[in-house]
Amino acid sequence: MVYLRLIKAILGLTSILCFLIPSQVIAQGSFTGGLQTSANFFMRDSLIGAANIPQYDRQLIGSQTWLDLGYSIEGFDLGIRFDAFNNSNLLNPSDSYTDEGIGRWHVAKKINKFDIRVGHIYDQIGSGIIYRAFEERPLLIDNPLYGVRLIYDLTENWQIKGFSGRQKVLFSEYRPTIKGATVEGFVDLSSENSVLTIAPGIGLVNRTIDDATMSNIIDKVSIYIGDDRIVPVYNTYAFTVFNTMVAGPISWFIEASYKTAEAFFDPSAVLTNINGVESFGKLVKEKGSVIYTSLSYAKSGLGITLETKRTENFDFRIDPNLKLIRGLVNFIPPMNRQNTYRLLARYSPATQLLSEQAFQADVKYRWNKSLSTNANFSFITDLDGDKLFQEFFTEVYYKHHRKWTLRGGLQFLQYNQEVYEVKPEVPLVETFVPYVDFLYKFSRKKSIRFECQYMNIGKDENADSGQDYGDWVFALVEYSVAPHWSFVVSDMYNIGEGKNSPKKDGVKKLLHYPRVDIYYTHKANRFSLSYIKQVEGIVCTGGICRLEPAFSGFNFSATSSF
């Protein structure tokens, strides 16, 4: 059945191509493609929590694969993607998912000033606050619009865009519909002596709930009593106004968004039942707003970026019954530094959709060709002023000719584990992380890199031990032979006892979490084989985060483009 759907989709696109384009020129087109695949071999380790899901208990192997194919000719753009999931833990790290089929297809053509696209469409309005259709494979987020998009160039610098359809979910679509429109432009006000440009835009999105989804909402709110009662609506509208101004070395972006009152789930709202018993979590009906701005300056080796954001009741989903990272219509930009080093990224804050007020400042300065520095500060609270996250980060980078480079710095962090990981009555996690990264080149092709990080964590007074898992140390060695091979060995060691440290026979254990990676690259092909033992933690991609359990086993991955 799956292969029949794949054949039908390919034949359908081919039929359209043959109908619209003379057969003698089809061969003159351009084919492109890409393959990405990953497979896990699960090895049970109950001590670290890598157990009690189907893959560890019986399935042992899980995989996920994406194959993209594209064809362009005579202004036509056709694309199709085949997805396959086999006992995969990507959709839900604590469960297994198996399915396969057409994950995406599209047909597009630009006729003079008119751009037409049908099928699965990735797009966004402004910075994405009211609408963004995008893909993040590490979290299995893939929510393009399944429908039609039309773009018309009003002038060389102004265009109007409209779209309509339903949001994709796996190999199907949600039932509610989405419609949207935006007008965007560019105005150059520069003179001979100065640069001044603006890029304004406005946007509108409408979500209409279908009867079946509305019945599910009514079933839930029908048991609410008193002030908890709400009257859900079929149509919700979101509006946004945005502009980017560039004046010499200064760039300023601002966006203000508003969402009409609708039903959404508030996990912190108190629900009172008919017996007077209170519990947390219910559907509420409120309007929402977001204002976000970013101001940047770059000149003579100095770069400064200031950002601030205020979010109130902006949980905008295709279906109000959905939770976590599912069914999101929009994307609200994160307000913290996106760290890449293992211990620096251990406590990452997920964007809060209902109540968040945030500020971030980033300063970079290049002293000369060899030396540069960076400092970053981010501060996030809810709208009541309760602290959610604070980070102060510094880094120094030094390059000695072409022989070696040294990077090092410090991170001071506070993290509200009660909010971000839903762990009740725990204090703010406080960490101090120094780190160093040293790269030495033996020759143009051979190099070795050393990386070391140490995390000192605050004390948990209630548990008379360190917070969470306690202190950590991380070390890594990477040896590379360009352009083909890279070998990486690392270990993350729990050196300080914490409240959540694993136990065996009632005794807390300080454990190693080793990892070994082998990478091979040949032209447009890249392969990797890894042995991984990983602690439970938050995984974030662009501010979208989820808590993932510990992992133990092997991973094989391959990517190829053609």
**Of 397, 349, 406, 398, nearest to 375 (Cα)?**
397
pLDDT at site 10: 52
Query: What is the SS3 assignment for 193?
Result: coil
pLDDT at site 500: 83
End-to-end CA, the chain: 28
- What are the residue ranges in the chain where pLDDT is below 50? 1-3, 6-7
**Of 78, 84, 119, 116, nearest to 99 (Cα)?**
84
pLDDT at site 218: 94
Cβ pair 209, 174 in contact under 8 A: no
pLDDT at site 74: 86
pLDDT at site 261: 97
pLDDT at site 3: 45
Q: H or E element: which one contains 310?
A: strand 302-312
Residue ranges and CATH numbers for the domains of the chain are 135-333 (no CATH), 334-510 (2.40.160)
Q: How far is CA 201 from CA 86, 133, 184, 240, 308, in A?
A: 43, 18, 4, 8, 20
Q: Which residues pair with 437 in a beta bridge?
A: 407, 451
Could you report the per-residue pLDDT of 194-245, keeping only the tens digit for each? 999 999 999 999 999 999 999 999 999 999 998 899 999 999 999 999 999 9
pLDDT at site 13: 55
Could you report the per-residue pLDDT of 102-134, keeping only the tens digit for each? 999 999 999 999 999 999 999 999 999 999 999
pLDDT at site 1: 47
pLDDT at site 14: 53
pLDDT at site 23: 52
